[in-house]
Chain A
Amino acid sequence: MAEPLILVPLDGPLDARAALPVAKALGAAVGAGLRVVHVSSGTPPPLSELVGRLGLERAGLLGWSIDARVGDPSAAIVDAARMLGVRMIVMCTHTAAARPAAVLGRTALEVLRAAPCPVVLVPPVQRPESWRPDRILLAHDGSPAADAVVGPAAEYARKAGAKLLVVRVGTAGAGAPAERGSLSLPLYVDQPQHEWPHWSGELLERLASRCPDRRLQAHLCVRAGEPGPEITRAAREWADLIVLAWKGQWDGDRAKTLKTILREASCPVMVVRA
């Protein structure tokens, strides 16, 4: 079996300082090595120079390798991820000084769209070397599609010894998920002393069924408000990492929750394709 790898696309020292501690901690949690990839439009710099420019030697990494590629950045990153069969991609939401209007930089968005694996998007602020995913927030809307996040989240939580919190958000002005087999928040709470324990058990059991060993250690929290801001608030109060599912649609009004979280959250966000 091939060595598990996490792909870390880096452009320069700024995004390296943000993404590397995250990649390092996640890699340590799951025993994955890091493959740094740098893509340039012209002749790539010598690797030794690149290592210095990105600060890799100072990052205290173990088990890493580097690859310099030429071409379109997003295509090269996705191609590398596919060729190497990486477990995930860890990269910054953007590398420019100012956050783009589209929330994600062009490269990050293209990678997110085409990645064959979960993508951890990291806000480009310098992160302490000690960052660890000790508290993982799993955002779930009750639809079977959202269950895609459970496997990766549970795996990282278990391997990192992290706590896992499943967050459901109830919203006025929004109906239950239309997808067949969804578990909406209970609109009929005939007797709270029975309904809530049963509903919580049902949700956690559904999620556990998506874990390889059908076991899930998680707590559950129901909040009220708009999903994006509420998940962001919950993450500010508690989490080091947000994990959520994305159905692959981005343009226009789509992915409102994800866009809000990426815009507002200060912690990394793992996006798993539903």
Chain B
Amino acid sequence: MADNLAPSIEGAPVLDLAEFDGAAFDLDGVITRTATVHAAAWKRLFDAFLARRAARMREEFRPFDAEGDYLRHVDGKPRLDGVRDFLRSRAIVLPDGEPDDPPERETVCSLGNGKDALFRQLLARKGVEVFDGSVAFIRRLRGAGLKTAVVSASKNTVPILKAAGLADLFDACVDGVEAERLGLEGKPSPDTFLHAAKVLGVPPKRILGVEDSLAGVEAIRAAGFGLAVGVDRTGHGAALAAHGAGVVVPDLTALHLRAKEAGDPARDLRVREGAQACGPSADLPLWPSADPEWVLVEEGFTPTREHEVESLFTIGNGYIGSRAALAEGSSLSAPETFIAGVFDTRPGASPELATLPEWEHLSITVEGQPLRLDLGRFLEHRRILDLRQAIVWREWQHQDAAGRLTRIRGLRLASAADRHLLVGSVAFSPENFSGLMSLDASIGGLVSKRTATGAAVALAAATRFIGFDRTTAAEDRATPRPLRVDLGKVYRLDRVVAVHTSRDSGSPELVAREHADRAIESELAALIDGHRSAWMERWRASDVRIGGDPAAQRALRFAIYHLLSAANPEDERTSIGARGLTGSAYKGHVFWDTEIFMLPFFTLTYPEAARALLKYRYHTLPAARRRAAQFGHRGALYAWESADTGEDVTPSLVSLPGGETIRVLTGEQEQHISADVAYAVWSYWHATGDQEFLLGAGAEILLETARFWASRAERGEDGRCHIRGVIGPDEYHETVDDNAYTNGMAKWNLLTGERVARLVAERWPERWQALSAGIGLRPDEPAEWLTVARDMYTGLDEATGLMEQFRGYFELEDIDLGAFEPRNAPVDVLLGRERVQRSKIIKQPDVVMLLHLLWDDYPPAVREANFRYYEPRCAHGSSLSPAIHALVAARLGDPELATRYFRQAVDIDLADNMGNAAGGVHAAALGGLWQAVVFGFAGLRLTDHGPEHHPNLPPHWGGLSMRIMWRGRTHDLNLPPAGGAAGPQPGRRSDG
């Protein structure tokens, strides 16, 4: 790495701007993507020439290789040099000829002219494609005071720059025309770069050169420039480095810039506040991650997508979640911020997550004209969810009706280092005007609210202006009073909002006020730094790296980001609702989603968070006991939907869109949730060995849920134990008897209850005494559980290996779901609820779900038979369904089917034409996506001997690596591609 570079916190190179006064850029491949057009033109030219020559000479026709030959012989060179060098590589010598030689003459010049004509034709047809990251990089350098030049062998440089609207981006242009006029030798000779340095008036050693061609980096080195930056978009990074590149990056956005004014060791992240600190120092101190596998980008503005974008781009830290509504609002903006565990109620309705005052609102007006996307026009608008840094970014260039251009960059985060803190910052710059600008934030001080459930919530805001004259910004708060802004300068408004509730302290207003006042004393960069460090730590523990499938990689990181954003290991009295803290749909209610779909991720990568989530079930155990008693049973029956207290909050009625109002039976009948909670408790204990948790909370849950099933099961005349009148995971069929999933999980719960009773009694007899006495457990109860488990009806047909999903299922009408595909409505809408209830169509995996959870309890033939039977009958009417199908298909060795389901699972939140995510992301489906990768494709199995894996990677994946926590130690999994030379590698254990 060159001396003027340093690694940043993330390991990305940092460019110290103090080292440079100028920058010179190649055009093709660096700024514009004309390389492919050039390559195509060269290929057409040479193929025609070579074919003619082969026919004439009776030789074999060997065509021009648009990749190899292009890169080796013509890329980056003056046109005629390129012709000569390629011909030389084929041992062909032609006369140079005259500059205006017509095509029919076989000379170097005629071929060069032919190539130019072909290039112009193709350019006119295809247009100019620009690398936005490079343009942004050049603008930032210019903003920092560097002079810039373009140095290209192309004689078409000026037309290309004009066509791309980039002509004003450079102080100097040394192109093929200029080089010919001055007799400058082309790259790899340093002549053109040295001439650019001369025109810029900057010594070569104070210039950085940027090139993507081997000849180009050689030329930069030969010119004695301070640094040669190689841009590797085609996988030739090693060659670039070998030819003299001091640093190689996939895109210029991967370079971090260290501001010139900064003076401390972490100054790439720091920008000091100052009354006169206009210019680059007032800009945001950080840029979004450049790697496309780490970002979600929403370009432009589609009003009807706003609710979805707000959900997808939500920032959260488990304590607080804030949807990414536009600060200035729009016709469809729904700014909502939620706090975990803080609910509100409306008369006659079940509790719902309380919505906080709109902390992020900011109206900006320029000369009285509001800056809004629906007024004037935006020349550029993009929002970026930066998964790695957990920051949502906004980049916006707006032109108002009077033609005034304003550039705005903003960021927003929910601090992972300080969970009560929300941070927002917006930098803006008048690009072609000076005038008056006003900023109006909705909250400037302290706002408090009390919910109908009695919770008090306080938000305290503090703001800081940077770049304005102190005298006009002395009030130190957002103000609608106009402030003077000058062309080309950058101004910034930082805001911190501290949020506290009566759940946290007795005087949330006071605490919030003090917290905000304290936080605003920290520089923005320091606030960001703490937050980023916390996230880096999380990603080190939780990231899963997939090779060769950027879309899958990004989707998985999106899932992990939202799972991490939803968890708070410091709060064991809240859990994660169906949509996390990303939207108001499902009211923040907690379902089995948390334990069965999300918890495995936390247990294996963030066990502190898993523990806190399970403690929520421990703290709500009293409500679960009351619910069991209410139904006349013993033990604990968890609520199908719960909020802060654990009481059941399932709505009792629903109006369907066809006009029909029906009773909701899940609250009474979907009782498998008790076994699901028990399953998660045992899985956590199994993976962590967390004895304190087991003895303090887990065992009690396992015993009380086992007890419930023992009292819930009825012994029938056949001598078997039956569970009647339930709803399984397949909610299309209600009030069924002996649902395979419910019975199977109940049986497991009974056996595990007995097992944990034995375990605690044997290993911790004193605790056992206290525990069993505390819950009034009779000594014979665990043995009774074994009997009930042994006699539990399973619905397994030994002859076929099939498990009947519930009594009478096999007699139902078989409907071919394939006949309805594709469809744009759920099956129960198309066929009607009653028809579906009378059919074998299922909503989501039920028997297959049981197979997934209790995989080792069933022989391979049973797993295969049931999956093949139920999979075509599943309508995937639940977002939980596709990922589990992907998981099981992968485990059964069907990567093609698994990949199809995996993609379907990805689209649940990320398709842009469905509107699925408007009410929040599908947190459980995201957890399922992680499980599909880890338990399905990676084939991870958690045995009593430790983690094992039996990979079933999709053929196009270039391997997978991840880290899990197992009983206090980390295990690294590094899986090669399917069919790779190396066989499955054992997980590597390391001290974590």
| A interface residue numbers (CB < 8 A to B) | 142, 144, 147, 168, 170-200, 202, 205-206, 209-210, 214, 220-224
Report how many residues on chain B are interfacial, defined by Cβ distance under 8 Å: 57
A144-B304 Cα distance, complex, nearest whole Å: 7
Q: Which residue of A lies closest to B880 (CB)?
A: A190
Contact of B666 among A173, A176, A182, A191 (CB under 8 A): A191
> Please, which residue of chain A has its CB at the minimum distance from the CB of B882?
A188
Find B824's partner among A175, A179, A193, A198 (CB 8 Å cutoff): A175
Q: List 8 A-B contacts (CB under 8 A).
A: A170-B825, A171-B824, A172-B819, A174-B824, A188-B922, A193-B654, A195-B585, A198-B585
| Contact of A185 with B829 at beta-carbon distance under 8 Å, contacts A171-B823, A172-B820 already known | yes
B94 within 8 A of A: no
B529-555 vs A, Cβ < 8 Å mask (1 yes, 0 no): 000000000000000000000000000
Judged by a CB distance under 8 angstroms, whether B302 is at the interface is yes
CB-defined contacts of B912 to chain A, threshold 8 Å? 180-181
Q: Which residues of A contact B265 (CB under 8 A)?
A: none
Q: Is the CB of A172 within 8 A of B823?
A: yes
Which listed residue (B589, B823, B881) contacts A173, Cβ 8 A?
B823
A185 to B303, Cβ gap below 8 A?
A: no
Complex Cα spacing A205 to B308, Å: 13
Query: Cβ of B305: which chain A residues have Cβ within 8 Å of it?
Result: 180-181
State which of B578, B831, B915 has its C-beta within 8 Å of the C-beta of A202: B915
Interface SS of chain B:
loop
A75 to chain B, nearest CB (A): 34
Please state if B878 and A189 are interface contacts (CB–CB under 8 Å). Answer: yes
Question: Which residues between 564 and 602 of chain B lie within 8 Å of chain A, taking CB atoms?
Answer: 578, 584-587, 589, 591
- Which of B303, B656, B913 is A176 in contact with, Cβ under 8 Å? B913
Q: Is the CB of B913 within 8 A of A193?
A: no
Specify which chain B residues have a CB less than 8 angstroms from the CB of A220 in the assembled complex: 657
Residues from chain A with a CB closer than 8 A to the CB of B641 are: 191
Smallest CB gap from A200: residue in B: B657
Q: Is B292 an interface residue (CB 8 A)?
A: no
Asked whether, in the complex, the Cβ of A224 is within 8 Å of the Cβ of B829, the reply is: yes
Residue of B nearest to A202 (CB): B918
Q: By the criterion CB–CB under 8 Å, are A174 and B657 in contact?
A: no
Q: Is B655 an interface residue (CB 8 A)?
A: yes
Residue of B332, B824, B879, B912 ringed by the most chain A CB atoms within 10 A: B824
Contact in complex: A187, B913 (CB < 8 Å) = no
With contacts A142-B915, A209-B331 known, is A147 near B825, CB below 8 A? no
Complex contacts, A190 vs chain B, CB 8 Å: 578, 586, 878-880, 922
B823:A174 contact, CB within 8 angstroms: yes
Chain B residues near A195 (CB-CB < 8 A): 585
What would 9 more interface pairs be, CB under 8 Å, given A170-B826, A178-B913? A144-B303, A181-B303, A181-B305, A184-B824, A187-B825, A191-B666, A192-B656, A205-B332, A221-B659
Q: Decide if B658 is an interface residue (CB 8 Å cutoff).
A: yes
Which residues of A have CB within 8 Å of B307? 202
Q: Is the CB of A193 within 8 A of B651?
A: yes
In the assembled complex, which residues on chain B have CB atoms less than 8 Å from the CB atom of A198?
584-586, 918-919
Assuming the A-B contacts A188-B878, A196-B654, are A209 and B303 also in contact, with contact meaning beta carbons closer than 8 angstroms in the complex?
Answer: yes
Does chain A have a CB within 8 A of B916? yes
Q: Are B664 and A192 in contact (CB under 8 A)?
A: yes
Which of A170, A175, A194 counts the most chain B CB atoms within 10 A? A194
Q: Are A184 and B914 in contact (CB under 8 A)?
A: yes
B844 nearest in chain A by CB position: A190
Decide yes or no: A194 and B585 within 8 Å by CB, A180-B302, A206-B304 being known contacts: yes
A184 to B914 Cα, complex, angstroms: 5
Within 8 A of A (CB), among B648-663: 650-651, 653-659
Given contacts A171-B824, A200-B657, contact A187 B302 (CB under 8 A): no
**Contacting B658 at CB < 8 Å: which of A178, A182, A189, A223?**
A223
Chain B residues in 8 Å Cβ range of A142: 915
Most buried by B among A174, A181, A197: A181
Minimum distance in angstroms from B36 CB to a CB of chain A: 27
Partner pick for A170 among B651, B731, B824, B878, CB 8 A cutoff? B824
Asked if A176 and B914 make an inter-chain contact with CB atoms under 8 angstroms apart, the answer reads yes
